[in-house]
Amino acid sequence: MIPPISRRPRRLLVGAAALGAALTFAAPALASTQPVAPAGAPARAAAPVAARSAAWAAGTRAYLVITAPGDTSAVRSAVTANGGTVFSYFDAIGVVVAHSASATFATTLRGVSGVQQVGATRTSDVPADAYNPALPSNPAQSTTPAGEPVRWDMSQIKADQAWAVSTGSSSVKVGVLDTGVDDQHQDLQPNFDAADSVSCAYGKPDTRTGAWRDVDSHGTHVAGTIVAAKNGKGVVGVAPGVKIASVRLAEPTSTLFYAENTICGLVWAGDHGFKVTNNSYYTDPWQFNCPDNVDQAAIIEGVRRAQEYAENKGSLQVAAAGNSNYDLANKTTDTESPNDSTPTTRRITNACLDIPTELPGVVTVSAMGSGNVKASYSNFGNGVIDVAAPGGDGSNGVYSTLPGGKYGTKSGTSMASPHVVGVAALLASAEPGITPAQLRDKLSLQANDVACPSDSRCTGTTAKNAFFGEGQVDALKAVGTTVPPGKYFENTTDVAVNDNTTVESPLTVSGVSGNAPAALKVGVNIVHTYIGDLKVDLVAPDGTVYTLHNHTGGSADDIHQTYTVDASARVANGTWKLRVNDNAGGDTGRIDSWNLTF
């Protein structure tokens, strides 16, 4: 059985390899709204790390103190007057990060005028490292032999075909909010933006050189999937021409992502022009934050405001759905929280949110295995999942960069989310002025529908369902000059075409009113030697046959063509089929994919 998500980054390690040598990992711990400030107002944080003077004391806990956006000075004074210290603050969203060792601090502050909410962000002490944080190590780099073969995940979303059209624009900046990134890695260094990288561990920006580096390996792996350079070595990311910045949220040792860290990272993303951010984690220590709990309600509000701030600044957040094979649309229990002390089992409802994954405006990503199937571990939920992407499963993990110039495989929704971020970066490269809302819409529009399997948990339609949302992202469509007009349906499942056989590939059409158009577009991609052997027909739901190709082409290879069919007398909705007959010997092939545009 694949282990469920528990804490830390949304990862599920099923195996790893570095340059052919096995790596050993510990058991994985495991993946719109009103503006809160004027678009031009930056969110001020507290003094940089060098100015820290507070001394750590046992029993120190962290709190979010929430007030009206704009000016937190009065509330900051109240924090100091009531047994706390101000660790950092973000005026534009009205959030103060306070530390206190007093057991009555939160209760006292809730009675102060101007304080809207107060919530503890941890059930364990703030580490002493928060006051004098050590820099992550800068690992020695391995040398990688030449060669970067196309991996299954990239071909599944047609990224390898997209690279021939566009690799993305260097003016597009993507943020990896994670465990950090190894900026010295040969596949990441060419596209790395150190000037906009930071550590937000503990909830305050640390801009020292290298503070953004990886305290695990998760963030470096995520970064490679998005942006690994097309340099003839290792791997290629979905968008190898864009820039990437690291925002380390994870704290060392625990690698936990607390609310203050997430808030700091999202505000940084907004202020530093990140077009898209990847969020392959949930906000610790609660797998789900419930609004009827006073502490968790403050976490929801604080992170929500930070997400809104980033979006209002032009940043789209993409997040992993999680690895518990859990129905996010029908929540019942949480057995894994809090993960920084002693987890207990509690009853929950759909009002309890996975943060930031279920916040308004965030694109939620489920994971697929090789072959366009739901990954066994992936969370799901009708109305929760927006799109899907390869995350790996079983023996087919996602191969990407690891610290120290290495490479390896990981599987999880953490690995699916960066594929979507890469596609979003390609879309943003084509339209520099695109807004987060428009980018969300385009991600949905370019996704290829994936029908539910025979699984009663997968509710909804082929066009949008609990397992795959709007479908699997498609990098090739993202770099096209136009999105196909009308409703677009595609089947990418391979169907073998053997000698002297007839095969069919079905495609379910739904959500189209009335009859099919008089100029129905039928895109056909058949890989087959000697296409003169083949007869290719489109079969309408009522059984009407339209012949597309009839034993022409002689010894030519493959059919990659779009046909136009007058199907105006046929109802659009239903199961259409591409029928291929091979009536000779000696040459075989497959239906690679086909599509209909209404």
Q: What is the pLDDT of residues 108-133, one digit of tens each?
A: 999 999 999 999 999 999 999 999 99
Per-residue confidence (pLDDT) for residue 14, from 0 to 100: 43
* Beta-carbon contacts of residue 506 (< 8 Å; ≥ 6 apart): 491, 575, 576, 577
Q: Are 261 and 205 in contact (CB under 8 A)?
A: no
Q: What is the pLDDT of residues 571-593, one digit of tens each?
A: 999 999 999 999 898 899 999 88
Ranges 53-67, 100-114, 523-537: which has the least confidence = 53-67
218 catalytic residue (yes or no): yes
Per-residue confidence (pLDDT) for residue 357, from 0 to 100: 97
Per-residue confidence (pLDDT) for residue 465, from 0 to 100: 97
Q: How many whole angstroms separate alpha carbon 367 and alpha carbon 396?
A: 12
Q: How many whole angstroms separate alpha carbon 99 and alpha carbon 89?
A: 12
Q: In the predicted model, is pLDDT for residue 43 greater than 50?
A: no
Q: How many whole angstroms separate alpha carbon 567 and alpha carbon 234?
A: 47
Per-residue confidence (pLDDT) for residue 56, from 0 to 100: 79
Q: Are 365 and 318 in contact (CB under 8 A)?
A: yes
Q: In the predicted model, is pLDDT for residue 72 greater than 60?
A: yes
Q: For residue 565, give the DSSP letter.
A: E
Closest CA to 127 of 250, 291, 268, 282: 250
SS3 240: coil
Q: How many whole angstroms separate alpha carbon 133 and alpha carbon 322?
A: 29
Per-residue confidence (pLDDT) for residue 575, from 0 to 100: 96
Q: In the predicted model, is pLDDT for residue 22 greater than 60?
A: no
Beta strands 488-491 and 545-550 are unpaired
Average pLDDT over residues 165-185: 97
* Beta-carbon contacts of residue 77 (< 8 Å; ≥ 6 apart): none
Q: Are 499 and 493 in contact (CB under 8 A)?
A: no
DSSP 3-state percent helix, strand, coil across the chain (nearest 5): 20, 30, 50
| Assigned token pair, 89 | 């603050």
Return the axis-axis angle of helices 259-271 and 294-312, rounded to nearest 10°.
10
| Assigned token pair, 523 | 């895109």
Alpha carbon dihedral 138, 142, 143, 147, in 10-degree steps, equals -100
Per-residue confidence (pLDDT) for residue 486, from 0 to 100: 66
**Phi, psi torsion values for 80, nearest 5 degrees:** -65, -35
Q: In the predicted model, is pLDDT for residue 149 greater than 50?
A: yes
Cα–Cα–Cα angle for 53, 59, 63, rounded to 5 degrees: 75
Between 573 and 487, the more confident residue is 573
Per-residue confidence (pLDDT) for residue 10, from 0 to 100: 59
Q: DSSP of 450-462, one letter per residue?
A: ----S-TT--B-S
Alpha-carbon distance values, 336 to 29, 62, 319, 333 (Å): 11, 21, 20, 9
Alpha-carbon distance values, 1 to 4, 42, 582 (Å): 9, 47, 42
SS3 555: coil
Cα–Cα–Cα angle for 98, 100, 102, rounded to 5 degrees: 145
Give the pTM: 0.76
Q: In the predicted model, is pLDDT for residue 17 greater than 60?
A: no
Q: Are 143 and 406 in contact (CB under 8 A)?
A: no
414 catalytic residue (yes or no): yes
From the candidates 99, 153, 193, 218, which is the catalytic residue?
Answer: 218
Q: For residue 224, give the DSSP letter.
A: H
| Assigned token pair, 528 | 């087959």
Place of tokens 């489920």: 366
Give the pLDDT band (50/70/90) at residue 35.
very low
Per-residue confidence (pLDDT) for residue 146, from 0 to 100: 82
Average pLDDT over residues 169-179: 98
334 catalytic residue (yes or no): no
Average pLDDT over residues 540-547: 96
Per-residue confidence (pLDDT) for residue 485, from 0 to 100: 54
Ranges 42-51, 84-93, 540-549: which has the least confidence = 42-51
Give me the count of residues in the chain.
598
Q: How many whole angstroms separate alpha carbon 526 and alpha carbon 533?
A: 12
From the candidates 280, 411, 414, 429, which is the catalytic residue?
Answer: 414
Closest CA to 443 of 358, 363, 508: 363
From the candidates 178, 393, 474, 592, which is the catalytic residue?
Answer: 178
Q: What is the pLDDT of residues 324-379, one digit of tens each?
A: 999 999 999 999 999 999 999 999 999 999 999 999 999 999 999 998 899 999 99
Kind and range of the H or E run holding 319 = strand 316-320
Per-residue confidence (pLDDT) for residue 382, from 0 to 100: 97
Q: What percent of the chain has pLDDT over 70?
A: 90
Per-residue confidence (pLDDT) for residue 144, from 0 to 100: 80
Q: Are 422 and 238 in contact (CB under 8 A)?
A: yes
Per-residue confidence (pLDDT) for residue 467, from 0 to 100: 98
Average pLDDT over residues 470-488: 79
